[in-house]
Amino acid sequence: MKMKYAFRILPAVVAAGMLAGCSKNPVTGKKEIVFMSEEKEKALGAESHPSIVATMGIYDDKNLQSFINEKGMAMAKISHRPELPYKFFIVDSPVVNAFAVPGGYVYFTRGIMAHFNNEAEFAGVLGHEIGHITARHSARQQTSQIFGQVGLAAGMILSPQVRAMGEQAQQALGLLFLSYSRDHETESDKIGVDYSSKIGYDAKEMADFFGTLKRISEKAGQSIPTFQSTHPDPGDRMSKVSKLATQYQTEHPGKYNVNRDAYLRKIDGIIYGNDPQQGFVENNTFYHPSLKFQFPVPSGWQYENSPAQFQMAAKDGKSMMLFTLAQGKRLEEAAQTVVKNYGLKVIDNEKATINGNPAIVMTSQQVEQGANGQAAAATANTIQVATWLIQYGGNIYAIHGVAAAGNFAANAGQFRSVAQGFKSVSDGNILNRQPERIRIKTVQRDGTLRDALKDANQPDNKLDELAIINGMALTDKVTKGSLFKTLGK
C-alpha cells in the first residue's frame, strides 16, 4: 500500500449500451458479430488505466520501461492493428502476470519480469498479449466477464450499495482476471509466436516460459500464478508452442535471438516478492514503514493490500473493513466528502482523539433510493458503516467498518478495536525493512546450478525457488563466467 493515490469513486465502464455490429476480424479475416466498436475499445483502455494504476501502482525502473516500450512499439508496427495507440507498463505487483486491455494497453507485473530469463521469453508473452488485442478477444467475449467481481474483493462486498467503495479496485481486478476461451488462448499463442519471431526472437523460449509457469503452480505452498489461472492451459500448451516456433523457423530460415545475458543485466536489482515499504502484515498487525503507522488485523481475517487501499474481511463475508486516504485538508471537510461520495446518512458523529491523533468518528447508513426517488426505509439488510477519520503525519486516513444493519452491533466492537489500534511506528526493525531483490551473479566455476547458488551463499530453503526463478533445475550444468539469478537485499 503506497497510499500515493487518493481513493476516489470511478464510474464503471458499462458495455451494455453498445450495439452489436458485423465486422471483419483483423487477424482471421473472418466476418463476426462483436459488441464493441474500435472506438469503444480505445475508450475502455483509456478509462481503465487509472484504475489499474491506482490498484497496482507503476514500478519505477526507467531502463526496464524503456526496454518494454522499444520492443512493444516494434511489435505493434508489425501487428495486424498497427494504428492502435499502444502503451506498455510495468505494474508494481509481485504476482507473475501479464495482461492486456482493449485499445492497446499492455501490462507486465514486476513479478513476471523477474521470472523471465531472456528477451525472447518476454517477447513471446508480449506477442501473446498484443495478440489478444489485435484479435479483439475482449470484444468477442461476454462484456460481463470484464467487470465480474473476483477474488477477495467479491467476498467483501455485501451489497450493490457497498460496491461503490471498492469500484476502483474491482474494475481493475475484473480486467486482471479476464478469462478467455481456449480457442482464444491458442490463437494468441500462435500470434505470439508470429509476432515475436517477426521482430527477431526465438519463439521456442516462449514455450520454455510456460514450463516455468507450470513449475510455479506445482511448487508446494504457492498459489497458481495469475498469468496461468487467467490464461487457461489446454495441457499440452508448451509442446504446441514449441511446434509452432519450429514450424515458423523452418518456413522462415534466419537468425532468431535469445539475448539472455542482456536481459539478466536489465533486471539486476528488480524487487522480488512483496515490498515491505508498501505495507505488510506480521503478527496480526498491518505495518506501513514509509508512512510510519500500524493498526491491528483481526485474527483469521482475509486481507488484500494495494496502492489505493488496504481491505480485510471476516471469512464469513458478513463484515469488512477498508483503510484508505481520505480526501480533504481538514477532518470536517474529509467527513463531508465521505458522506457525499458514499451516499451516507449520518446517524451520529463526534470528535475524538486516537492515540494522540485528532479524529472524527461517524456511524452512518447507506441511503438506498426507492422507486419514487425517495430514500427507502432502513431494514436489517441496510448497509451500516462505522467511520474513523484520523489526522496523522500530514494526511487524513479513513477506516471504514461495514456490515448489514442486522449484523452491525455484533461487529461494532471489532471495528472499534481496529480503529483505536491505529498508531505510529517507531521500531527500526519495521521502519527499515527492505525487500528482496534479484541480484545477477557470475558463475565462478563449472558445475551445477546448485553449486553456483551455494557459492553465492544462497540459503538452502531458497534453492528450489531460485531454480524456478532461473528457469533451470538445480542439477543443470552451468559454466564459469555465465550469469545467473540470486536473491539479496
DSSP 145: H
Cell of 293: 503507522
The whole-model pTM stands at 0.78
Whole-angstrom CA distances from 220 to 93, 151, 273 are 21, 21, 17
* Pair type for strands 87-91 and 105-109: parallel
Alpha-carbon distance of 313 to 297, in angstroms, equals 10
> Helices marked H in 291-423 — which ranges?
331-342, 405-420
The rounded percent of the chain whose pLDDT value lies above 90 is 62
Section 180-207 average pLDDT? 89
Tell me the HSE value of 326 on the side-chain side, using a 13 A CA sphere: 29
The cell numbers describing 455, all together, are 557459492
Q: Residue 180's pLDDT band (boundaries 50, 70, 90)? A: low
For residue 363, the model assigns a pLDDT of: 96
What pLDDT was estimated at residue 241?
A: 93
φ/ψ (deg, to 5) at 143: -65, -20
**pLDDT per position as a tens digit, 389-438:** 999 999 999 999 999 999 999 999 999 999 999 999 999 999 999 999 99
Q: What is the pLDDT of residues 272-304, one digit of tens each?
A: 999 999 999 999 999 999 999 999 999 999 998
Q: Is the pLDDT of residue 342 over 60?
A: yes
Predicted confidence (pLDDT) per residue in 59-100, tens digit? 999 999 999 999 999 999 999 999 999 999 999 999 898 999
How many of the other CB atoms lie within 10 Å of CB of 332? 12
Residue type, 295: F
pLDDT of residue 51: 85
- Taking the domain 279-431, which CATH number applies? 3.40.1000.10
What is the C-alpha to C-alpha distance for residues 484 and 465, in angstroms, rounded to an integer? 13
Domain ranges within the chain, ordered by starting residue: 21-272, 279-431, 436-488
Burial of 11 from C-beta contacts in 10 A (0-12 / 13-18 / 19+): exposed
pLDDT of amino acid 230: 45
pLDDT over 80 (residue 30): no
Other C-beta atoms lying within 10 Å of the C-beta of residue 70: 11
Q: Beta strand 105-109 with 395-404: parallel, antiparallel or unpaired?
A: unpaired
Helix and strand element counts for the chain (H, E): 18, 21
- Where does the pLDDT of residue 26 fall: very low under 50, low under 70, confident under 90, or very high at 90 and above? low
Q: Which amino acid is at 96?
A: V
CB contact at 8 A, 319 and 179? no
For residue 405, give the amino acid letter: A
Grid cell in block for residue 82:
498497427
Q: What does each C-alpha distance from 485 to 228, 348, 447, 449, 461 come to in angstroms?
A: 23, 57, 15, 10, 16
pLDDT value for 197: 98
d(CA 228, CA 284): 30
Read off the DSSP letter of residue 278.
G
User: Given this model, what pLDDT does residue 219 score?
Assistant: 72
Distance between CA atoms of 310 and 169, rounded to whole angstroms? 11
Of 37-46, 125-134, 224-233, 336-345, the range with the lowest mean pLDDT is: 224-233
Provide, for the chain, the percentages of residues in helix, strand and coil under a 3-state DSSP scheme, each rounded to the nearest 5.
Answer: 40, 25, 35
Q: Which residue has the cell 557459492?
A: 455
How far is 75 from 42, CA to CA, in rounded Å? 18
Burial of 228 (0-12, 13-18, 19+ CB in 10 A): middle
> Do 311 and 399 contact (CB within 8 A), yes or no?
no
Cβ burial of 481 (10 Å; 0-12, 13-18, 19+) is: exposed
Lowest mean pLDDT among 164-178, 261-275, 276-290, 294-308: 164-178
pLDDT at 149 over 60: no
The DSSP code for 57 is -
Report the SS3 class of residue 139.
helix
| pLDDT cut 70: percent of the chain above it | 78
Could you tell me if 479 and 451 are in contact, meaning their C-beta atoms sit under 8 angstroms apart? no
**Residues 223-245, mean pLDDT to the nearest whole number:** 64
String of b and e for 344-374 (b: at least 16 CB within 10 Å)? beeeeeeeeebeebebbbbbbbbbbeeeeee
